Every structure is written in C-alpha cells, then in structure tokens.
Amino acid sequence: MAEQKAFKTAGLMKDLMAKYYTKGKESREKGIPVAWVTAVSPVEIFYAAGLFPYYPENFGALAAARKVADKLSMVAEARGYAHDLCGYARCGIGDAYADEHPVGEIVKPDLLFCCNTQCGSLPKWFEVASRFYNAPYFLLDSPQIGNEPDKLCEQYFIEQLKELISFLEEVTGRPFDYDRLKEVLHLSNEACRLWNEVLDTAALKPAPFGFFDACFHMAPIVTWRGTQEAVTYYQALKEEVNERIKEGIHAIPDERYKVYFDHIPLWPKLRWFSDIFAAHNALVAVSQYTHSWAYSFDLERPLESLAENYTEEFVNRCFDYRVQLKVNFMKKYGCDGFVLFSNRSCKPNAYGLYDKRNVISSITGLPGVVFEADMSDLRFFSESQIMAKLELFFEQLSSR
Amino acid sequence: MNKAEILGLFKKVAENPDWQARQWKEEQNGKVIGFLLTDVPEELVHAAGFFPYGISGGNSRLERADAHLQTWACSFVRSSLALALEGKLDFLDGLIIPQTCDTTRMVLGIWQHASPLPFLLNFRVPRQVDRPSARNYLIGELARLKEHLENYRGSEISAEKLKKSIKLYNHNRALLRKLFTLHEQNPASLSNKQLYTVIKASMLMPREKLNELLTELIKAIEQETAVPGNRIRLVISGTLLEPLEILDFIEESGGIVVGDDLKNGFRYIDGDINEAVKPLEALADRQLNKMPSAGYDIARNPRRYFLVKTAEQKKAHGVILLHLKYCEPENYDYYDNIQALEKAGFPAIRIETEYGTTSLGQMRTRVQAFLEMVGGEING
Ligand code: SF4
C-alpha cells in the first residue's frame, strides 16, 4: 500500500511534547509544584493557579505505543496489582517501583488531582500514588448523570471547585487569580474549537483527516489545553488540513466507506489497524474518544461553566445518552458501519457495548462489530480473532 | 422457637434467598425492591412500604450474563444479572444500584435493556467523604431517591414513617452487633458460619420478623455458659464475604472471625443513625462515617491503618484479605494494606474468590496452611 504523506505539523508535535516533558523538570527546579491531573478534568484551574499539570495517562499511552506496557505492568503485577486493571495505571504504578524506565521516568507529583468522571481506575491509581510519593491528593467527585443536565451534580461540582481552589491557595500561598482563569478558559475554548473543526473535516468525502490522524494529533488538546501553545498548534494543523483539502490529499487513498470507532485505539497496534482499514477502503472517521475535548466555557460564569462542561461530558453519562451520542456521530459523519472495542483496560467504556451494538444497529440499520483486546497490553491481543471479526464486518460493509 | 430452630430457619432463608420475599409479596400484596450490596439506605425503601431485598449473587449459570457483560467483569454483578436473566428475581418490582465502582456505575443501563423493571434507579453515593460538599450532595441525592420512591408509590413518605423505619433498622443493627459480640465471646455457641448466615439472611427477610427472631436467639445464647477456648483470632477484609464455606474452613482449623470490613459483614451492621437529627441528614451521616471501603477515598481514616487498628483492638493473630476477583477498587488497595499489616506484625494472606468458580478444595488447603502458620506463632 502507498505510504501516506506525513503531516508537516507532526514535527511541531515532537517539539511541543519534548517541551512538555522539559517543562515538568524545569518546574520542579524552579519550585513550581507539579500536579498530577486527569484527562477529562478542569485543568484550567491548575494553569490559572500557576502550577504545572502533568498527565500520567499520557505516560501510560506513551508506554503502550512504544510496546513496553507489559514490561512496566509486570513490575506492578509482582506486587499483586492484577493484569486486569487499567493498563495506564499498571504502567504508572509499575514505573514507580521499576529500576528501569524504558520511556523515561514518570514525573513525580507534589500533589495529585483526580476527577472521576472518566472512571474509577484513576482515583484508585492516584490514591496509590499519593501514598507512594507521599503527596496530598484531592478527588473531585462527579456522580454519573442521565440524559439531562443535573443541577444536583452541578452544584456538588461547583462546591468542590471552591474546595479545590482553597486547597490550591494553601499549596501556593497565594490567592487564586480569577482573571487569569478567564484567560485560560478562553485559550481552552479556542483550542477546543480549532480541534473540533479539524475533526469535522473527516465528514468530507473523501476526507483529509481521520480517527487515526486524530489519535496522533490529540496529545496537545489533552496536555496543553488552556495554553497558547495548544491554540498555536491547532491553528497550524487546521491550516495544513485546509491545504490538503485544496490539494486533494486524502486520509486514505481510495475512501469508499466511513466507520465509527469506539473508543481508545490499541496504541501498540495503531499502525496495524489503520493499514487494515485503509486496505479495505474504509476510513475510520470518528470516535467519541477524540471528541472528548469539545468544551465551550462561558467566561462570565467560570465555575458554573466548568461544572456544566465537565459533568455533562459523555464519560459522565448513562447508557442511553452514550448510545444516542454514537448514533449522532454516525449520522453527522455519514458512517456506513461501526466498530466497538471492548477494552479490558477501560471498563466504563467497555461495559454495555454488547447491548449497545444491538441497540445501535436497530436504530441505524448499520452493521457493527465488537472485538476484544486491551488498549496497551499485547498479551491480550489475538490477531486472528480480531481479523476474523473485521473481515466479516468488511464483507457486510461492501454488501450494503 | 429454640436456638436450633431459629438458626435452622436462618439457614433455610440464606439457602433459599427468594423464599421470604416471595412469601411476603403474596401475603402483603406489596412491592419488593432489590438492591446490590450494600450501600443503600434501606430505611427509605422500608418507609415507602416496600420490601428491601439484598441480592446476594449466585453460584451457577453465570454464563447467562455473557451476552451482556464481559466475563472479566466482577462475578458478583455478573451472577446477580444472571439470576435476573434466569427469572430467579422475577418477584422484584424494582432495583437500586449503589454506584461504588465502574461496574455498578455502568450496569444499570445494561440491566434496563436485558431485564427491564418498573423501578430501576442508581444511588449515586459520593466517593469522597471527608469534605463538607459530600454531605450536602448526599442529602440531595437521598432526597432524589426518596422522591422517586414516592412517585412510584403514589404518595409521600411521611417523616413519622421514616423515623419509625430508622428506629427499626437501628434496633436490627444493634441486635446483630450484639450477636457478633456473643460470637466473639463464646464461639462455641455461635459458629463463624452461623453468625454470617444470620447477617446474610437479614437482607432477605422482613425486618420486623427478623428482630423478633434475633431477640429470641440472643436470649438463648446468653443463657449458655461460655466455653473459653484457645482460638486463632482472625480479621477478614475485602468487598464481599463469599463463599460462606471459607468460614467452615476457618472453624475446622481452630479459627474464629473477630472482625471484618465486608459489605455483607460488619460494615453492614456497624454505625447507627442518629434519631435526633433530621432523617435525611442522619442517613447521610451514617453513610459518610461508615468504616473505610475500597470504593471510597477516605483521608481521615485510611483503610490500611483502620485494618491495623482493628487487628490490634481485636487482638487478631492474622488477617485474611478476601479478594473478589476483578474487583478493581479492592485490588488497588491490596498491596498497601498487606504492607501495613505486615509492618505492624500481623501475618496476612490474600485469597481470591469468584462467584461460581472458586475452588473450595484449594481454598481449604490455603486456609489450613495459613492458620497452621499463625497458630504456630501463638503457641511458640
Ligand atoms: S483508559 Fe479508561 S480506565 Fe484507564 S484511565 Fe483512561 S478512562 Fe480510566
């Protein structure tokens, strides 16, 4: 298969991520506290408080992509952390105890902050880490909500943001800067807007950009969201995607179908998957995963707006809401089928997929398949089983 | 009824978990609301005039749930769903699922599709319990639950009714705790298995009847003379006590369970509800002040120190960490718990269990070996 033309912006990404890791080290030297944070959490508060937010999940994904997740995991397993726990957590805990650090050492926290919208693994992992590193831990608790926004949960979230702010004021010894928060929220808005405009180009037929591209380009929206760096990055990416549209460069050579994918990719097999789909002329166009960062904050009501955006995020929603979300994405992007990944690591996204497949098919009439594996750990990867499922799926696609 | 008859009845209830609920439903023409174990304010359900029924999982035909829930999900939830799919919970009118982990957080939607019920609600317990926000929120969440129960019932739950239910449950917990103490003081009069069988049965039968039986049972045991024995004192820590056979194995090897932090053990009967405070606030306070459990982040009372303290207070010789396979929160706690216990001089062992597949033979051997080791230390 013809090699796809690489994104120029990829170079920028390399610099940006290198800068991110140096910044972690520099912060420590300058006495700026390093705060561990989670991917779907109001990181804006931390930038506004002048702390350096560090994303251990990103460390897990990196270890997975470099195919060393099992090595780090085994260090944790030797201590009784079972291999069925979330792969990111296993990598993080493993690295804490490990003598060898194949992807560099995880940056040690001065404090830990977890928002449990996403899952129950992060709060437990961070609890373990807070004992290990002997650093204070703050859990922002977010009960699951249904189809509609939930006032009770929003109120709870706001109250906790206030508790968090007092906690950070104590850590930093300075009053919280609400003006700075506005600036940060504005930068988050901008980055989210640009990112989603890029994602939306996957609806064009043929499209210049797809899910696997998004997996590559998503690191800044997670780790730099709330800074000018993220905005600059996505401006550049958007420009490049627009150029590609003009020049007729497509994500895959001969796009005939569009596919919806749920949820996180198999990091160590990203290339393998993207090649298989491309070989079958199917563009994986969209996933709820890469759309997780689509915030729009009201600068006049910062705390309320943070609470609305984060509690109403799909990771914090019930079964039916998530079904509807997937169906809406399939419609918006003109999908011809869907592939759901039952990810052993990520229980909250895996549980329910068997029933969701049936419900989605009956609503949309589209073919769909569920396959089993782990996002980071190749010990749970069976190429033949997954191929068999995908082959069947591709047959259904072509016979539509 | 004499002691043997009462214990026989409890055993029968535990072995036929639907028996009492079906009977009650028929006699009272009332509604039965199930719950997954056990962080649910049963008092509210009781005050609404419903029968709160603790689904205790099952040990056969778990594969019925396989089309809905991955086999690597916790077997308690899988087996409970399997029971529903098999029709063994067809007497339920409703179900309340306390969201204490990812599995309980995600299973409600699955249940709704796989085995729909007229009343199906999550109870969204706060997972941080130390800051003031948790209490404010929980009072609101309890009010939400109450409102749903009222809508389902078609009328308000009066404050008076709720207070009465709280009183009844407080009394029940006090009786069960009394029984626990009697077992500790005089294990010959109430074995490990008998004690936990009563606790299990308590979630499966009408509280009023239960309290009468417990009162009689306590009276009977109090009349027996205590036989001092040289038992190996153990604390069990984990999510759920399962299977009950482990208690026989402990007994055989000369052990007695003197404490636990299990959701269907002492954690279920610990702590009363303050009858002098507004009911919803009082319900919230009990929930927030429960002993530590893996599902909650408790900074003021970290679980590992709580276990060490319990082992010290109970003069335990060892601790069994009973790990329900695939219970993630429990697994994250395990290593630090065992480190803390061993540092404090308490030998500890992890035993993995799974509804439906636990190998009893292996479990017996491991329990025996552990008690031999711990017992040797007592004698030596
Ligand atoms: S992969 Fe899933 S379980 Fe793991 S940290 Fe992310 S959301 Fe949580």
CATH code at position A351: 3.40.50.11900
3-state secondary structure (DSSP) of residue A335: coil
Domain end marker among B229, B258, B273: B229
Say which of B70, B108, B113 has its CB closest to residue A342: B70
Q: Are A275 and A167 members of one domain?
A: no
Task: Tell me the residue range of the domain where B337 lies.
Answer: 231-380
Quickly state the pLDDT bin for A217 (edges 50, 70, 90): very high
Q: Are B271 and B327 members of one domain?
A: yes
Q: Are A20 and A162 members of one domain?
A: yes
| Residue B251 reports pLDDT greater than 50 | yes
| Residue B230 reports pLDDT greater than 80 | yes
Q: Are B178 and B134 members of one domain?
A: no
**Average pLDDT for B365-374:** 96
pLDDT for residue A247? 96
Question: How many helices (DSSP H) and strands (DSSP E) are in chain A?
Answer: 17, 8
Domain end marker among A177, A207, A229: A177
Residues of B in contact with A140 (CB under 8 A): 128
**Average pLDDT for B87-98:** 98
| Structure tokens given for A194 | 């640009």
Say which of A141, A143, A351 has its CB closest to residue B70: A351
Q: Are A335 and A190 members of one domain?
A: yes
Residue A6 lies in a domain: no
Q: How far is CA B99 from the centre of its chain?
A: 15
Q: Are B222 and B199 in contact (CB under 8 A)?
A: no
pLDDT for residue A28? 86
Q: Are A378 and A288 members of one domain?
A: yes
List, as own/partner pairs, every contact residues B206-210 make where C-beta atoms lie below 8 angstroms and the sequence separation is at least 24, other chains included: B206/B20, B206/B24, B206/B51, B207/B46, B207/B168, B207/B169, B207/B172, B208/B168, B210/B172
| Residue A2 reports pLDDT greater than 80 | no
Chain B nearest-CA distance from A325, in A, is 15
Residue A313, ligand 1, Cβ within 6 A: no
| Residue B335 reports pLDDT greater than 60 | yes
Residue among A37, A118, A289 whose CB has most ligand 1 atoms within 8 A, to mutate: A118
At residue A364, what are phi and psi to the nearest 5 degrees? -100, -20
Kindly determine whether residue A120 and residue B126, on different chains, have CB atoms separated by under 8 Å.
no
Residue A122, ligand 1, Cβ within 6 A: yes
Residue A39 lies in a domain: yes
Residues of B in contact with A120 (CB under 8 A): 101-102, 105, 127, 295, 328-329
| Structure tokens given for A208 | 């210049």
Q: Are A85 and A123 members of one domain?
A: yes
Average confidence score pLDDT of chain B: 96
Number of structural domains in chain B: 3
Domain end marker among A177, A198, A213: A177
Q: Are A15 and A116 members of one domain?
A: yes
Q: Are B64 and B176 members of one domain?
A: no
Nearest CA in chain A to B329: A124
Q: Are A188 and A63 members of one domain?
A: no
Q: Are B235 and B220 members of one domain?
A: no
Residue B25 lies in a domain: no
Task: Tell me the residue range of the domain where A158 lies.
Answer: 11-177
| Residue B293 reports pLDDT greater than 80 | yes
> Could you tell me the distance, in angstroms and rounded to a whole number, from the CA of residue B106 to the centre of ligand 1?
14
Q: Does B140 touch chain A (CB under 8 A)?
A: yes
Q: Are B255 and B296 members of one domain?
A: yes
pLDDT for residue A6? 84
> Could you tell me the distance, in angstroms and rounded to a whole number, from the CA of residue A246 to the centre of ligand 1?
38
Residue B41 lies in a domain: yes
Kindly determine whether residue A355 and residue B133, on different chains, have CB atoms separated by under 8 Å.
no
Residue A2 lies in a domain: no
Number of structural domains in chain A: 2
| Residue B31 reports pLDDT greater than 60 | yes
Q: Are A170 and A295 members of one domain?
A: no
CATH assignment of the domain containing A36: 3.40.50.11890
Q: Are B80 and B208 members of one domain?
A: no
Q: Are A233 and A173 members of one domain?
A: no
Say which of A81, A152, A355 has its CB closest to residue B335: A81
Q: Are A235 and A90 members of one domain?
A: no
Atom 8 of ligand 1, residue of closest alpha carbon: A119
| Structure tokens given for B50 | 């419903």
**Average pLDDT for A5-13:** 88
Residue B23 lies in a domain: no
pLDDT for residue A1? 37
Domain end marker among B153, B188, B211: B153
pLDDT for residue A4? 66
Q: Does B135 touch chain A (CB under 8 A)?
A: no
CATH assignment of the domain containing B292: 3.40.50.11900
Residue B26 lies in a domain: no
**Average pLDDT for A27-51:** 96
Q: Are A244 and A265 members of one domain?
A: yes
Quickly state the pLDDT bin for B357 (edges 50, 70, 90): confident
